[in-house]
A and B are shown apart, each in its own frame.
Chain A
Amino acid sequence: MRSRRRSLARTAVSGLEVAFLLTVALLSIVPFAWLVMTAFKERVDILSPRPKLLFTPTWSNFHEAFVVGRFDDFLMNSVMVASGSVVICMLVGLPAAYAFSRFRVVGEKHLFFYVLTTRMAPGIALVLPLYMFFQTIGLLGTVWAVMISHTTFNLALVIYLMRNFFDEVPQALDEAALTEGASEWQVFWRIVLPLTRPGMAVTTVLAFLFSWNEFLFALMIGGSNVQTLPAGFPGLVTPLGTYWGQLAAVSVVVSLPVLLMVWFIQRHLARGLSFGAVK
């Protein structure tokens, strides 16, 4: 009798827990879902004091932003900046990560620490020096400057993560190849790198996303010449009013690739975002 009551209580608690978890899940998505719906609403429906769940969907906000407005250019800029930044990150970061993983590097700890500070510093602390630097050399407002500025914070991520992935390839493999007469470069290029392809995919995606989502660097370094999608947001918040429909439409375009890519690398996300601290 008593154990039955206990198991009943247990079922009730368990039910409450499940209800709580589901509520939290709902709370996480409702605000964003509302934004997505706003993107497909006419102006009257957006500003309606009675929130409308049912409405006639329209593409007009997307049309306004991407066809009438300049967000088609911004989209191109975003794609160029994020891809370019990832390429620079990999070219510069992969050999460094490999060296940190494989070689006895004098002063390794100090270097590592310096690399990490570039990821940890607030954006403004990196953007001001870069702004002045690019102004001096006349690169301010070019796509190159924005790519490079995004590399400054992504490089640390690439180096930390790739080192972590390189560490997982047993050094015995390298040593075997080296005794067979392979050069260090061949070991890196032919043996270790191909084995870390999944890791490189995860790293690439994360670096791409951080650049794609970035706002302050794009705003200041790109200026009005090279606006990325996020940097275009403030232009839609004007003294005359906020263009909610267009803002929501642009948000959907910014978020869609992010959600897709994250879904693909979900399994590795915990590791990627904790700098390899969680496997």
Chain B
Amino acid sequence: MKGRSAAFGGYLWLAPMLAFLFLFELWPFLVMLDQSLHALSYTQPALQGQFVGLDNYRKLVFDSDFFHSVRLTLLFLLISIPIEFVLGLALAVLLSYHLWLKWIVSLLLIPMVLAPIVVGLTARLNLNPDFGIIGIWLRTLGVAPNGMLADGDSAFLTLVAVDVWQWTPFLVMIFLAAILSLPGEPFEAAEVEGANRWQVFRHLTLPLLQPIIVIALLLRLTDSFKTFDQVFIMTGGGPGASTELATIFAYKVNFVSWNMGYGSAVVGVLFFISFLLTFALLKLMTRFGRGALP
């Protein structure tokens, strides 16, 4: 075990953090869990916080809107993340061949560091079929004459495209950093042996990058799961419920319909899902032993 012992097991130093976490996170969270056991709605005067046991959770199990939103979120993750990884790896490896182009990483960073709400607005402006450059271009090609956001399927695909636009650069950046920090000897040996680029990538780069790929995958999973602002400003979950991701659904139940009792149960379940993802992240990061974790 590392480290020296401190008075009170170091808890004096942790006291501000613990106080903060307890007061502003744990306590409100427990209050919310308690509320999920009550019938409470600001818009339905009959529901004033009566205790209803697990009724809200029972309702959740049969709520097709909730399952629709979870399914959409999963679909969103399953389509966008693989595209981002293939593109991100390819671009990082290509950049490592042409290091004089490394400066373009600075340009690639732009979509990633913009406020998500600005990203969504940028997409909406550019995709407008009447005056957005991409929208007009698509219309002249005969695709989406009313705009990509007017139809359910194309609106969903647009969310995926925007996510790819925004987050592929993140992967390029960390993969390139990782590739450049790999030890040189195996690659020199491979060159002496006459291995071609694909063989080098397949048998050297990829296995050596494995830890960072796993970490990046889980970071992307949790971040994609959180996607909210972009969708909020682009479609608000529409048309219909075609882009209503789980986070948007939870927002609507709580802050549009003001069903805070049922909404607390929805949020509780979402929290549980992200809890599982975080748990997996921590396990894997510990296993691969790199990075900041104990």
Contacts and interface: CB of A to CB of B under 8 A. Distances in A.
A93 B9 contact: no
Interface string B230-262: 001100000000000011001100110000100
A255 B114 contact: yes
By CB atoms of chain A within 10 A, which of B113, B173, B264 has the most? B113
Interface in B104-151: 104, 106-111, 113-118, 121-123, 125-126, 130-134, 136
Contact of B131 (A47, A91, A95, A277): A47
Interface in B1-26: 1-6, 9-11, 13-14, 16-17, 20-21, 24-25
A91 B4 CA distance: 23
B29 interface: yes
A155 B18 CA distance: 11
Contacts of A220: 255
B101 to A, nearest CB: 6
Contact of B278 (A18, A100, A117, A259): A117
B28 interface: yes
A255 B278 contact: no
Interface stretch (B56-64, B74-82, B218-226): B218-226
B229 interface: yes
Given A104-B4, A113-B282, A278 B226 contact: no
Interface string A87-111: 0100111011011111111101101
B108 A31 contact: no
A88 B170 CA distance: 28
Interface string B70-98: 00000000000000000000010011011
A215 B116 contact: yes
Nearest to A20: B94
Contact of B247 (A93, A124, A274): A124
A275 B17 contact: no
B67 interface: no
A222 to B, nearest CB: 13
Given A109-B294, A148-B24, A279-B181, 13 more contacts: A18-B98, A35-B126, A49-B131, A99-B10, A101-B3, A102-B10, A103-B4, A104-B9, A120-B277, A121-B275, A155-B20, A234-B232, A247-B121
23 contacts: A17-B97, A21-B94, A28-B107, A28-B111, A30-B133, A31-B134, A34-B133, A35-B121, A35-B122, A88-B20, A95-B17, A96-B13, A104-B10, A108-B294, A113-B278, A121-B270, A121-B278, A124-B228, A128-B267, A155-B21, A184-B6, A251-B115, A270-B177
- Please list the 7 inter-chain residue pairs (A to B) with the smallest Cβ-Cβ separation, ordered nearest first: A276-B292, A129-B28, A103-B10, A277-B291, A213-B115, A99-B13, A133-B28
Interface of B: 1-6, 9-11, 13-14, 16-17, 20-21, 24-25, 27-29, 31-32, 35, 91, 94-95, 97-98, 101, 104, 106-111, 113-118, 121-123, 125-126, 130-134, 136, 165, 169-170, 173-174, 177-178, 181, 212, 215-216, 219, 222, 225-226, 228-229, 232-233, 246-247, 250-251, 254-255, 260, 263-264, 267, 270-271, 274-275, 277-279, 281-282, 285, 290-294
Interface of A: 14, 17-18, 20-22, 24-25, 27-32, 34-35, 38, 46-49, 51, 88, 91-93, 95-96, 98-106, 108-109, 111-118, 120-126, 128-130, 132-133, 148-149, 151-152, 155, 159-161, 163-164, 167, 171, 174-175, 184, 209, 212-216, 220, 230, 233-234, 237, 244, 247-248, 251, 254-255, 258-259, 262-263, 266, 269-271, 273-279
